[in-house]
Amino acid sequence: MKYIFFIITLLLSINSNSGTDEPHPVIDSNYISKYSYNIENMDTKELEKTKLILKNYLDKSKVNNVESKKSMEKKLLDALLEYDDVRIQITRVIDEIIDEYNVNKEIENTLLSFKSTFKNIIEDNRPLVKNLRDYKAYDFRLGSAYLAMMSAFHETEDSKKFYSRLVKDKKNDTTSIGKYNKELQLSQANINLVKQNMEAFAEISDIKIVITKIEKEISKRD
């Protein structure tokens, strides 16, 4: 979800935006139109040819039968919430990390403090998520907490060593952080698939708009 920050942002956060109006790498479309034509200056033969090419492309497209933008957004929200069901298990994983790494008291207190912060954010905000805009706001709050934790783990030599070990162990699924990372990656795969379908849907919608414009231009000349 490419969307990595630190131990937990390394693994958890799809995004850490500065607010709900800022672009979100998953929720907001990355689609850039590839179908820009100077329709009024094209002759009728060119218009008919372009229309045919675009319609043939639509016929071959697997996304052509998608019901609506609303249904696609619902699928993306469902995928994000499924991912978040895994992500919020960080509160459990923190306890496992404390035991597994036998951390000193200072690091333990830092971890437990952020565990409490995460729990509060999750309990206060996750139930309010009803749409993608709500999710952006929720994701921003979690992302802010992750970034704060990242800073905390770079304050002392011991915490830096601890952080480095976690980064290394996230690739080892026999460790708590490694198992967690693996589960997150599996959940992320579904988000990526839905995102790809949404981008394809945006392209199809774009093509349909262009075809409509071409047809109107042709009808004006008849």
User: For residues 160 and 153, what is the distance between their CA atoms, to the nearest angstrom?
Assistant: 6
Residue from 9, 118, 133, 124 nearest 80 by CA = 133
pTM, full prediction: 0.81
User: For residues 49 and 8, what is the distance between their CA atoms, to the nearest angstrom?
Assistant: 52
User: For residues 15 and 132, what is the distance between their CA atoms, to the nearest angstrom?
Assistant: 13
User: For residues 137 and 132, what is the distance between their CA atoms, to the nearest angstrom?
Assistant: 9
pLDDT tens digits, 76-107: 999 999 999 999 999 999 999 999 999 999 99
pLDDT tens digits, 137-190: 999 999 889 888 888 999 899 999 999 999 999 999 999 999 999 999 999 999
Any idea where the domains of the chain sit in the sequence? 68-217
Instruction: Give Rg (Cα) of the chain.
Output: 23
